[in-house]
Chain A
Amino acid sequence: MNTLLLFVGVLTLAGGLGISTAWIVTYYSFFGKKVIEWALILPLACPAYIIAYVYTDFLEYAGPAQGFIRHIFGFNSAADYYFPEIRSVMGAIFVMGFVLYPYIYILARTGFNNSPRSLYETAALYGRNKFFAVGLPLCRPYIVAGLALVAMEVLSDFGTVEYFSVQTLTLGMFNVWIGMNSISAASQIAIVTFVFIIILLVLERKARSSQKYNDTSKRLNNISPKELSLKKALFAICFCLVPISVGFIVPIIILINNVFIGLKPDSFFVIFPVLLNTIFIGLTATLIIILLAFFSASSAYFSKNRALVIIYSIAATGYALPGTMLAIGVVIFFGFLDKFTGNIVFLGGTIYGVIFALTVRFYAVPYGGVISGYSRIPSNLFDASKSLGYSSISTSYKITLPLIRTSIIATAILTFVDIVKELPMTLILRPFNFETLATYTYQFAHDELMIEASFPAFFIIIIGLIPILLLQNQLNGFFHSKN
């Protein structure tokens, strides 16, 4: 029940925020739009569990927010006034919604930008609402892909719900399996979760397959944003500032404040190797995942083999599995592999284990992105290529790669950031004496030592921000679909 509530709540909040902000920055132009446009992505760099720690500290009874309220109104105890409990389902919805909405924002924005202007003009001509008549239906594959990502993130989340003591399926499964060592009880819950995931995937597929896009003229059209009046522009800015502040600015200020309280002279020295490990793992795994995803999505698209498509889709369910579960699955699999090969290779407890698990987990991100990129390429381009005698492989290279570069770069960033934030799998699978920023943060955060945890946590966010900022210009270029 909690799981369902969390699910619906986060999807509604993240979906609402993501789609509305994407629409605003695509179809209207106003002062400061450039800044707003990229700032909306920033919460992506924040791991939900860290935001959860930060907000709990800030909003709980003993935190500064309620302390301030008590001070102002002269309340003496909790019974004197109402304040929502942050450690609850609502709290979890709040935190996850504001951290996860950029997934939808990014994909929806790409979708809106790639929609042909001619259709909007037609809609305007007939006096229909542009958003509901054209924008939303046309972008459905992008939005659905974004929602699916968010949904899977919610299902797999462990850190946030554990911290908030919200009993979800995942947490329950975990407590009986790991805590009580009872596999049979855990498998029952796991089956329920898995059914949940399958339903989700079927829905996504349905939403996609019912539509086919063949617009030959769209690349010739650019959206021309409508200039807003000052009053409306201010409103648009304020609206977009809400998710940016809640998901990024406020937590980062609290974090920085903590960093300054706890900073010691050797802090940087200690963190440096940890930082390198994190970057190394992030880059290696991202590269592998992108290559795999591009290859599989292309082959799924071109060969009409249904079995292949189904296999790839099942592979993508890794994203919805809680990291800890997946990690233990990988450990068991590697144990089997090591025995099977007669211990010639020993993979368990090596860096390969971590990278393998990350691949299984995050493969869905670029796979979904590449697939929706494909669904937007007019199929007559492929037909043309075929009639010119090019094979599928050279077609992917010559036609698709340039056309879906946007999707690939965007999803590569998402994947990298996801990996940097990832905690439970890295924690369980990593080799001796190997710390990443996330695991290093965890040893303190686990003990609710927020001050000590803030320094490495701050770096997690910075490392995630770098690719977002570096590729922003490039991204923007692609969003505004130059030909």
Chain B
Amino acid sequence: MNFYPLSVITFLFLSFTTVIGAEVNIYSHRQPFLINPFLEKFTEETGIRTNVVYATKGLAQRLKAEGKNSPADVILTVDIGRLYIYDDLDLLASVNSDILNRNIPQNLKSPENKWFALSKRSRIIVTSKDRVKEGQIKKIEDLADEQWKGRVCSRPGSHVYNRALMASLILSLGEKAAEEWAKKFVGNLARRPQGNDRAQVKAIFEGLCDISIINNYYFGKLKYSEDQIQREWAKSVRLIFPNQGAEDRGAHVNISGGGVAKYSKNKKEAVALLEFLSKADSQKMYGEINFEYPVNPNVETTEELKSWGSFKSDRLPIISIALKAYEAQKIIDKVGW
């Protein structure tokens, strides 16, 4: 077989590829097609090249095993739980940056400046426009009401977004009440928990159920989908930002975020990337590209997002959600969500 020479050449090539110029190596839980626009702009502005490995699972373990040898400089993730695992495994460096301190509020970063939120997403309720009247559902707690028996759809509970929501309920209602809620909520389900958030809207469109919980940006993705049918799905649902009462805690929010690897060899470039992502232009891009909310208080939410309604978000320090993840998962397993 004649692929042998080819293999040898490629082998050598891969072994001796040398690094020219400044660069930053990224371990990312975000899909390349979402972060590439940011990275291209970053390289354009700073001349720093970016290299990416994308995976949804196992990157923290890889980073840990690589130890001091790790080539990784920056970690980018979605969900506070995932971000916190890096902190918990002591894989992140403390970063002292005036820009980051100025751009990111206290409750959206680690107390030791090891990780920083870069965008916010709200976990919201969607209901069928035709089959659920406006105002009938106002809070996450309402989904446990018996009148919705057989009318609720959900993604599996152990998915990080639902786990974080569960943690927020434990924090605001207490463990016992939260479990009670979860039990009744599962009792209301129209089908086994399955699919991602997109699939829930689809199920409502098709009439399989009337109510579900999704991350807000999925609505935007469907509304502007290239696929005509998916745009129809979006049209069939009403968005409800939950728990907006004057005395209420506000809608649960989760974050995407990042940190600098403890053993990064390009710390300066790594910090520069995080700073870049926190500044006004990039913060706006989060809204434009992925319908997410800015964390930088000086940046306005995009017009599109504003048109979905303004809301107040739960002011819990985001780290407390991560700290309750284990308790949340226990309840989820117990009630079979």
Contacts and interface: CB of A to CB of B under 8 A. Distances in A.
Interface of A: 61-62, 76-78, 85, 87-88, 164-165, 174-175, 178-182, 261-262, 280, 283-284, 287, 324, 327-328, 331-332, 334-335, 338-339, 343, 346, 348-351, 424, 427-435, 439, 443-444, 446-448, 451
Interface centre among B6, B57, B69, B205 (most CB of A within 10 A): B57
B53 interface: yes
A32 B248 CA distance: 71
Please give me the 7 A-B residue pairs with the lowest Cβ-Cβ distance, nearest first.
Answer: A432-B51, A335-B65, A428-B58, A62-B206, A331-B65, A443-B31, A332-B65
A328 B62 contact: yes
Contact of B325 (A76, A180, A327, A334): A180
A62 B205 contact: yes
Contacts of B208: 61-62, 77-78
Contact of A351 (B14, B31, B158, B198): B14
28 contacts: A61-B203, A62-B202, A77-B208, A85-B192, A87-B195, A178-B57, A180-B326, A181-B88, A280-B10, A284-B3, A287-B7, A324-B57, A327-B62, A331-B66, A332-B61, A334-B65, A339-B69, A348-B66, A349-B66, A351-B14, A427-B54, A431-B14, A431-B53, A432-B71, A439-B55, A443-B54, A446-B56, A447-B31
B61 A328 contact: yes
Nearest to B62: A331
A350 B14 contact: yes
B62 A349 contact: yes
B44 interface: no
B32 A443 contact: yes
A283 B1 CA distance: 10
A85 B190 CA distance: 12
Contacts of A180: 325-326, 329
Given A62-B206, A443-B32, 14 more contacts: A61-B208, A62-B202, A261-B227, A287-B1, A331-B66, A332-B61, A334-B66, A335-B66, A346-B69, A424-B58, A428-B59, A432-B51, A447-B196, A448-B199
B14 A448 contact: no
A429 B206 contact: no
Contacts of B6: 280
B31 A165 contact: no
Contacts of B51: 432-433
A448 B70 contact: no
A431 B19 CA distance: 14
The size class of the interface chain B forms with chain A is 35 or more
B194 A343 contact: no
A335 B67 contact: yes
Nearest to B51: A432
A343 B69 contact: yes
Contact of A439 (B7, B14, B54, B325): B54
Interface in B197-224: 198-199, 202-203, 205-208
A87 B155 CA distance: 12
Given A165-B194, A351-B14, A428-B59, A179 B66 contact: no
Interface in B3-19: 3-4, 6-7, 10-11, 14
Contacts of B71: 349, 432
A332 B156 CA distance: 30
Q: Which has the most chain A C-beta neighbours within 10 Å: B53, B64, B196?
A: B53
B285 interface: no
Given A431-B53, A433-B52, A448-B199, A349 B70 contact: yes
A262 B226 CA distance: 9
Contacts of B191: 61, 78, 85
Q: Which of A181, A287, A444 has the most CB of B within 10 A?
A: A181
Contacts of A182: 326
A133 to B, nearest CB: 42
B22 interface: no
A427 to B, nearest CB: 5
Contacts of B194: 87, 164-165
A433 B39 CA distance: 13
Nearest to B150: A79
A338 B71 CA distance: 13
Contacts of A335: 64-67, 69
Contact of B61 (A61, A175, A178, A424): A178
Contacts of A76: 207
B89 interface: yes
B55 A428 contact: yes
Contact of A430 (B53, B88, B160, B196): B53
Contacts of B32: 435, 443
A262 B190 CA distance: 32
Contacts of A424: 57-58
Contact of A432 (B25, B88, B196): B25
B250 interface: no
A331 B206 contact: no
A209 to B, nearest CB: 35
B196 A448 contact: yes
Nearest to A328: B61
B231 to A, nearest CB: 13
Contacts of A261: 227
A406 B84 CA distance: 52
Contact of A280 (B7, B54, B61, B190): B7
A272 to B, nearest CB: 15
Given A181-B88, A283-B3, A349-B71, A165 B156 contact: yes
B193 interface: yes
B67 A432 contact: no
A56 to B, nearest CB: 8
A435 B33 CA distance: 13
Nearest to B202: A62
Contacts of A432: 25, 51-53, 71
Contact of A284 (B7, B25, B61, B205): B7
Contact of B62 (A87, A181, A348, A446): A348
B85 interface: yes
The listed residue with most B CB atoms (<10 A of its CB), out of A175, A324, A434, is A175
A175 B89 contact: no
B329 to A, nearest CB: 6
Interface in B36-87: 51-62, 64-67, 69-71, 85
Interface string B150-168: 0000001010100000000
Contacts of A287: 1, 3-4, 7
Contacts of A164: 194
Contacts of A447: 31, 196, 198
B55 A348 contact: no
Contacts of A88: 192
A49 to B, nearest CB: 13
A428 B62 CA distance: 7
B42 to A, nearest CB: 15
Contacts of B66: 331, 334-335, 338, 348-349
A335 B263 CA distance: 14
A435 B4 CA distance: 22
B158 to A, nearest CB: 6
A61 B206 contact: yes
Contacts of A427: 54-58
Contact of A165 (B59, B192, B325): B192
Contacts of A331: 58, 61-62, 65-66
Contacts of B325: 180
